[in-house]
Amino acid sequence: MNKKPSTRRHYPAVDWKLCFIADSEAAEGRDMLQLIAEAVEGGATLIQLRGKKWKSREFLEIGIRACRFLRPKKVPLIINDRVDIALACEADGVHLGQIDMPLLYARKILGKHRIIGISVATPDEAEAAEKGGADYLGVGPVFATLSKKDLGPLLGLEGLRTIRRKVKIPILAIGGISAANVADVIPAGADGVAVISAIAAAKYPVQAAIEIIKSIGKLKKG
């Protein structure tokens, strides 16, 4: 009898604690690679590169440079929205919103060796993403944030808990996350947090990342 092919993902293990979303607009002209380097120095365990207004060539060039920097440090690079850029720069995966390329087709292009994350804001979206083969979820907005203009209804901690009960795959909580509220977010069901302005807008990005990691570390010890 022929065995069914395995559907198990074969990407390296990921530490989900702290994802820094390196957003071109939030960076406000600062050198993106320097900002990424500072976030990683402070303890960021995952980087998502987002450039809504970048032209394709600029996005690709920054993606390639980010990959070269992050790979020796074993910090995965996820590309926001752009499956083509993720493939071209040999990133570790892609993160997709609800109006981006459907998960099914992104998986066909990227294969099972790359990570695919999906942004979700409801239990139904979360269950559909998990069923469709997503590797992790970006769940939010949990709290109010100025980093995103088209902000949907806030989930709050209870909304996060509800989604956690519905799925088994890793959850990154996003939306107004900082060192001050990590102590509430992680116990509500998140495996880690994704931040933009908490690091990008900080006067000292390295220290900002350190403080978030410290807050998470205290929870692990408790």
Kindly report the CATH number assigned to the domain that includes residue 198.
3.20.20.70
Distance CA(33)–CA(10), nearest Å, equals 28
Q: How confident is the model at residue 222 (pLDDT cuts 50, 70, 90)?
A: very low
- Only one residue has tokens 């695919």, namely 116
pTM: 0.92
Q: What is the dihedral of CA 100, 103, 104, 107, to 10 degrees?
A: 110
pLDDT tens-digit map of 65-84: 999 999 999 999 999 999 99
Average pLDDT on 12-37 reads: 93
Residue 112 counted as domain residue: yes
Is the residue at 216 inside a domain?
yes
**129 φ, ψ to 5°?**
-65, -45
7 within a domain of the structure (yes/no): no
pLDDT of res. 31: 94
> In this predicted model, which residue has the larger pLDDT, 1 or 181?
181
Torsions phi, psi of 115, nearest 5?
-85, 140
- pLDDT grade for 3, boundaries at 50, 70 and 90: very low
| 119 is annotated as an active-site residue | yes
Better pLDDT: 87 or 6: 87
Higher pLDDT, 217 or 58: 58
List 17, 50, 82, 114, catalytic entry? 50
Residue 5 lies in a domain: no
For 148-207, the pLDDT digits (tens) are 666 678 999 999 999 999 999 999 999 999 999 999 999 999 999 999 999 999 999 999
Task: List, in order, residues 6 or more apart from 53 with CB less than 8 Å away.
Answer: 24, 25
User: Percent of the chain beyond pLDDT 90?
Assistant: 85
The answer as to whether 209 is a domain residue is yes
Q: Which of 148, 178, 197, 215 is catalytic?
A: 148
Higher pLDDT: 217 or 155? It is 155
- Is there a contact between 191 and 171 (Cβ–Cβ < 8 Å)? yes
97 belongs to a structural domain: yes
Q: Are 194 and 177 in contact (CB under 8 A)?
A: yes
Assess whether 8 carries a catalytic annotation.
no
Label the pairing between strands 93-96 and 115-120.
parallel
Catalytic residue among 24, 82, 119, 147: 119
Write out pLDDT tens, residues 97-149: 999 999 999 999 999 999 999 999 999 999 999 999 999 999 999 998 766 66
**What pLDDT is recorded for position 7?**
46
Name the one residue in this structure whose structure tokens are 């519905």. 166
* Alpha carbon distances (Å) from 82 to 38, 78, 79: 24, 10, 6
9, part of any domain: no
Could you list the residue range(s) of the whole structural domain that residue 45 is in?
18-221
Look at the chain and report how many structural domains it folds into: 1
H-state helical runs in 103-178: 103-110, 123-132, 156-166
Residue 11 inside a domain? The answer is: no
68 part of the active site = no
